[in-house]
Amino acid sequence: MGRTAGDDDDDGPPPAYAAQRGPRRDPRLKDLGISCMLNTEVAALLAVIRRRPDPYSYLPPAVAAAEEATFAGLISSLKALRGLLFQPRHGAWRCSDPSTYLTPFLDVVQSEEAPPAATGVALSSVLKILRIDVFDECSPGARDAVHAILAALTNCRMERFSDAGAEEAVLLRVLQVLAALLRARAAPLLSDSSVCTAVNTCFQIVQHAAGSRGSELLQRTARHCMHEILQAVFARLPDIRDGDGGDDADPAAPGGGGSSGAGFGARCMVDVFSFLCSLLLNAPDMVITPDGQGAFTSEEDVMLFSLVLVNSAVELGGEAIGKHAKLLRLIQDDLFYHLIHYATEYSPLVLSMICSTALNLYHFLRRFLKLQLEAFFMFVLLRVCGGANGPHLQEVAVEGLVSFIRQPTFVIEMYVNYDCDPLLRNVFEEMGKLLCKAAFPASPGPMTAVQLQAFEGLVNMITTIADNVEVDKAPAHDAYAVDVSEFRLFWTERWDSTSAASGGAERETWVDFVRKRKLRKKKVAIAANHYNRDQKKGVEFLKLCHLVPTPPEPLSMAFFLRYSPGLDKNKIGEFLGDPDEFNLRVLKEFTETFDFTGAILDTALRTYLETFRLPGESQKIQRILEAFSERFFEQQTAGVFATKDAAFILCYSLIMLNTDLHNPQVKKKMSEEDFIRNNRAINDKKDLPREYLSELFHSISTNAITVFSTSAAAVEMTPSRWADLVKRSRAMDHFTPCDFKHKLSREVFIAISGPTVATLAAIFDGADDEETLNQCVEGLVSVARIARYGLEDVLDELLCCLCKFSTLLNPYATTEETLFTFSNELKPRMATLALFTIANRFGESVRGAWKNVVDCLLKLKRLKLLPPSVIDPEAAAAGSGGSTGRGSSERPGHRHRASTSDAGGVIFPATHRGAGTSRHVSGMIGRFSQFLSLDSGGESLLSVGSEFENNLKIIQQCQVGAIFKERGKLPDEALQNLGRALIFAAGGKGQKFSTPIEEEETVGFCWDLLALLASANLHRFATFWPPLLDCFSAVSQLPLFSPCPFAEKAIVALFRVAVRLLSAAPQRAVDTRASEELVFKSINMMWKLDKEILDTCCEAISESIVKLLTEHAGGVQTPLGWKTLLHLLTVTGRHPETFDQSVAAMVKIMSDSGAHVTRFNYAAVIEAAFGFAALKISPLDVSTRILELMAESVNWIVQWHKSGYSDPGNSAGFSGGSGSSASSSSASSVEDASRMGNLAANMFIKLAEALRKTSLVRREEIRCQAVFELGRAFNLAAAGDLDLGPAGCLACFNLVIFAMVDDLTEKTLEYSRREGAERETRSMEGTLAAAAELLADVFVLLLPTLAQAPGFRTFWLGVLRRMDTCIKCDLAAGGGAGVMQELVPRMLKRMIMEMKAKEVLVPREGDELWEITHIQIQWIAPAVKDELFPE
């Protein structure tokens, strides 16, 4: 910018300094600062160079002059630079060529004459320039500048320094500048060769520092600089695009400015990584020798140094390494082999670094390292974890394995990629079992470090599975089934995502594909076991499971023999060597599964013979070697063999050489010359290359081929085996990264479920410290969270273990001992809390373990530790905290709800969906210690109160009642299992009672719980209750079954259920009626076990029945229900203490306008009414009232008859159609009625029979009233036009009136024969007279209908016979002076006159009725003969 005259005006005041405002800074100020810095550095360097006390006085003048000239040049260049620093045109340093200000300093660095101090200052100046970024990649000449700096560093001659301290100081500066150069913004402009040069220079300094016994500071700084350089180099790898600076790109030439994308690329990284791998390979050569060669003190030092660098390279390169084939190939082929090879040969520190490196490789590159990772796990981690290499390495290996397990998706990825792959080992399953084995406490005492680490890994693994297995709604049990009903060559089958639907369906299809592969792999293992025992059975099993087609094909059998784990190698060899045509085809297919491309003969032969044991028969060996030779000849790449016969002959020769050299029975061993001589002219009449044969000989002599061995020695990772692995990895599918899926997560757990539960249980059993117990409980709860999804056996086993640890079921401990243990030990209380937590939250999957849970409950009951809220909600509301005793009965009609007062309890909330997500479980486990720590000084929940109160608080936290009270908590099957457990416990199975009172309380408690359970599940009572009915019969057959307390408590509890059922709002009619029938069927079964209970429990039974009939009669919808209620009402009502309420209920039912009486329960109502009317303790007025109601019930029959049996006025409403759920008793009643004429006649006869039976009671008033009401009933029926029909009328006489007269006659005669029974005789004679008079009245009333009956003649003879009997009875009882002598003739006269009036009895030709009547009247009442039959 030009200047104006005004700018030079000297008259004005001096310009004021303007302070910089805001965050922005004038770039010119920064450039000015750089100029000042450079000026300072130039001045310092000049000062150091000039500071010389004339050290050349002893030199020849010419030499001194030359050196002075040299320094003069350095000083001149520095002065020239200082002259340019503050010139305006050089203000923008970033836009200037860096060589302008770097060259003077670099000249000093490269100068052989410059003193060490000057070299150090110059290096410091260059370091400062690099650190403050005076130039960057966009500066002109930046590429030349960075290469010039590197050249100066590499050309700095250290040998000119005689002082070791000065040399070390310069080396430290060189290292700092190297690190800064690679971290500078212009570093990407370096070429690949320059980066390699920088790495090499740094490593030379490392070697120099170690070889010259440099200071510790220099050695550490050199290694740290090496680390920084590698970090700077590999940090750029993610930014390198494919092909940008890649493996095949030309190295960038220095010169000119470059863009940010130019410079070094993956080529140098490949070289550097290859160098690091060579360090691992050549570790022994890098150790310092006595002559000073080498850079490290030990091989372990080399390993650690190289592993740290490799780790840094992998961490910074990350997934980008997979984009560069050469880098990836180094890791696949070389690095992993070194990791596996050296893992067990050095200290735990080396193994730890190897595990860390493998973990990083898994993180970033697992997609490309499937077989390599499998080999690392199988040959290193799992083997060392098993203790094969000592406890120190074992601890490190277990720690490394746990680090893998902590990765979020490691567990599922191991299972999917290895356990579900038929060609690979079950890596995850072996990991899980190994952790269980390592963590299992082999002896009592504290756990070792290895056990603790393995235990931590196991809990972490189970928790991870549990956190990922949960779903909002569990699938049906059938959804977990896998169908493999068709043959597929699954060994080579791959998942084809293009053939499946996209989205969720695709993922689900992939899940099914993986599950089917795993199932087939399992079945192959089973088939191998069968095959080892019997070849034919093994093949049949293969066909049965669709693992091979029918008939088997060679390819599938070849895959089975090649890849089946656990298959006997002897069996394989015998099968392959068999001359059968099918076996030969299998042999060919089997051999073609190998890839011998690029392999030498002995390596290929070793790989081939490792898969089976070569048979001993020479013909079989020949066939096998011929197949191998043909395959090897086809795939040879070197062209060594001219024919396949040459390969076959040499193979046979190698087998013979192997036997000769390694058989101890052979004394004279074959020499190399002998071997070469034996194989002359075998290659199409030509010799094989001598070098080739010599290599084979030495390979066999140093490493025998395992041909006939059957030993189970551990397989080692040999170079030949690694070469085969690398070759197979090229053709195998990549590792599949995946996330957890519900069904797969469940199957992952199944693979290790048995050992896991056993190990956790054993650790919990032996552990004493609180932290271990907490972790155990967390693991056990996680197991339950998984097992809830269709793994009922696992959950049952888990609950049984917890029951054992609670000490509540110890059969050898007394009650006092059990209570003491529970009160003073943490473990039983934690087990009890965990037990009921799991039972509450996952009870839907519990099956057989309910028995153990119930037994624990009963033990707590005997210890008086169960809170009253378990069976009595009112006790919970009242806050009672003492012992429970027997517990109060549930108030009928009151529905239990789970207590919410313990919201802070250990149990899962009912509203919590996952029940078991990790967050909630960890919170639950965390509260265990806080809640249970009785000895802690903090604010524990148990810090106050007596020992008994503390125990009671613990049990309250279990919320036992929630198991039984929550509606719909358990599915039908679990509900049935819990019900069975309660029933059998109530029946005494597995129980030991010390006193009858204890037995009674236990049985009552069981039935209280069963009643709660049923009441909470009334909506599905008809579904879950029927199987429990079978248990009642089974319980009654138990050896020590006592029906008295069982049936007594049962019937009371069942009536509570009935009250709840009938008082609840009606559900679907069919379900309600079915549930009702089940309840009353159960009640009937109970009282029939011991009928005495109807007397001992009469008050409770009567109270329930009265409540049902008075408040919920409308809810009783089945005939069985009415029959049972009314029958038991009469039975229990015969006791004075229950009579009043029972008879009141009976009267209410009959006098309530028939609202609840229907044609289906009418017979039962009348039967019950008869029971009360005839009862001895029934007052006369009560019996009279009941008899009146019985007679008036004819009006109901009339109404039903007129309305077509639609039960008018009945709110309960049994429907009369075919859809009615009438019981078998009602069905039989309908059939009887149809035979008699109609249903009305049948019901009327039931009423008449009840009144007839009442006429036989001891009290005369009741008898006479019954006869009167019977006559009244006939009159009401006639008045209501109740059509009984001829058959019905005849039935009324035959079943009721005739029977009543006959019975009364017999009773009268019986009393007349007793001495002193004159009063009773007269009383009974009076009733007989009333009955006879009733006979005549009814006869006259029903004569028109009776006369129409076909059997009227016989009926009339029956009437006359009864009249004759009455006369004779009167004669026998009263000597001829009784009332019958007067009454019978009068009744006969009345009946015959009515018959004549109705023209029923008239003299007709061919009608015998007149003659028969005439003859009978002569015998019965001759006094009225003439009046009735005048001549």
**Distance separating alpha carbons of residues 954 and 165, to the nearest angstrom:** 74
Q: Are 460 and 402 in contact (CB under 8 A)?
A: yes
Beta strand spans in 705-789 (E): none
Q: Are 199 and 152 in contact (CB under 8 A)?
A: no
* Residues ≥6 apart with Cβ < 8 Å to 74: 49, 104, 107, 108, 111, 114
Which residue, 788, 787, 794, 805, is CA-closest to 755?
Answer: 794
**Distance separating alpha carbons of residues 994 and 985, to the nearest angstrom:** 15
AA letter at 43: A
Find the helix packing angle between 1098-1111 and 1043-1063, rounded to 10°. Answer: 10
Angstrom distances, CA of residue 81 to CA of 27, 52, 87: 21, 22, 11
Tokens 């019978």, located at residue = 1384
AA letter at 802: L
User: Both tokens of residue 223?
Assistant: 């290694």
Q: How many CB atoms lie within 10 A of CB 71?
A: 17
**Distance separating alpha carbons of residues 984 and 855, to the nearest angstrom:** 11
Using the 8-state DSSP alphabet, how is residue 908 labeled? Answer: P
User: Both tokens of residue 661?
Assistant: 């050299």
CA Rg, the chain, in Å?
A: 53
Which residue, 1107, 1173, 1084, 1096, is CA-closest to 1137?
Answer: 1096
Active site residues: 617
- Residue 296 pairs with which residues in a beta bridge? 287
Which residue, 1146, 1131, 1125, is CA-closest to 1079?
Answer: 1125
Tokens 């243990």, located at residue = 821
Q: Are 1337 and 1390 in contact (CB under 8 A)?
A: no
Find the helix packing angle between 27-50 and 99-110, rounded to 10°. Answer: 20
User: Both tokens of residue 1046?
Assistant: 């069982």
Helix (H) or strand (E) segment spanning residue 690: helix 690-702
**Distance separating alpha carbons of residues 15 and 8, to the nearest angstrom:** 12
Q: Are 560 and 602 in contact (CB under 8 A)?
A: no
* Residues ≥6 apart with Cβ < 8 Å to 1275: 1341
**DSSP letters for 1105-1144:** HHHHHHHSGGG--SHHHHHHHHHHHHHHTTSHHHHHHHHH
DSSP tally for the chain: helices H, then strands E: 64, 0
Q: What is the dihedral of CA 535, 536, 537, 541, to 10 degrees?
A: 100
Tokens 């029938």, located at residue = 1077
Give Cα 897 to chain centroid, integer Å: 28
Q: Are 957 and 931 in contact (CB under 8 A)?
A: yes
For the chain, how are helix, strand and coil distributed in percent, rounded to 5?
65, 0, 30
**Distance separating alpha carbons of residues 1010 and 889, to the nearest angstrom:** 12
- Give the three-state DSSP class for 405: helix
1211: left (phi over 0), alpha (psi -120 to 50) or beta: alpha
- Residue 1048 pairs with which residues in a beta bridge? none
CA angle at 999 for the pair 994 and 1003, rounded to the nearest 5°:
155
